Amino acid sequence: MAPIVERQLQLPGSGILYDASRLRKPAQELFTREYWASRGSHVEVAGGRASVSFIRTEEASWVLRHYRRGGLIAKLLDDQYLWLGAGRTRSFVEWRLLAELRNRELPVPAPVAARYVRSGLVYRADLITEELPPSKTLANLMAELDAQAWQAVGKTVARFHAQGVHHADLNAHNILLGESGAVYVLDFDRGRIRARGTWEEQVLARLKRSLEKIARQRTEARFSDREWGWLMEGYAG
């Protein structure tokens, strides 16, 4: 994996954190779909409440995500967060966590740039990462996975836990399976590195609930104690 070179650009009411090896000229417009569309780049919108955009140019393929709240509070604040300093913004924290995970050679997307825009006591935030190689979510592949694939998922989760990486919302939508059995993990918002403990069981329980929910919602999805057993075999090594 290419080394990440952290640089920070301070602007009036805003800041950008970026990898100088992947981005030479950080600017505010890089975090808007309109800018990319005006340059003739392919822009594909996805994600809940259209919060994710895939930006594809001749030079690079990036994923742009605008941070939005979930749950009931989203109706009041939507994309606003309490300002506690640049280093504690959601985007900067996730960017730095991804950089550390990449340095540890864990299968996560490379962070490109992160931004916050402050307005008084609140801020809004965005994150750009490199698009991963062709892959599909675990949620969309449940109908066709064999024992080896489920074991690969378990082994990957175990790799993260072995290094104390706590994913705050590990579910079937942010685990991706690529070619040749590769497994990736996405969305480390609110994630952190901590001492190993009972939180690992909680992460696994959350993942299992996610898989069970999808199996209930999609008749073609295949998930039972057998598939979970395969996953846990991989997790146990």
Provide the annotated active-site residues.
169
Least Cα distance to 132 among 184, 72, 67 occurs for 184
Which amino acid appears at position 27 of this protein? A
Q: Which two tokens stand for residue 6?
A: 């952290």
Query: What is the layout of strands, in order, in the sheet containing 183-185?
Result: 135-137, 175-178, 183-185
**Could you give the C-alpha distances from 9 to 3, 20, 36, 83, 153, in angstroms and in order?**
19, 11, 21, 18, 37
d(CA 237, CA 233): 6
Strands (E), the chain: 6-11, 14-19, 42-46, 52-56, 61-66, 81-82, 111-119, 122-130, 135-137, 165-166, 175-178, 183-185, 192-193
**147 Cβ contact partners less than 8 Å away, ≥ 6 residues apart:** 230
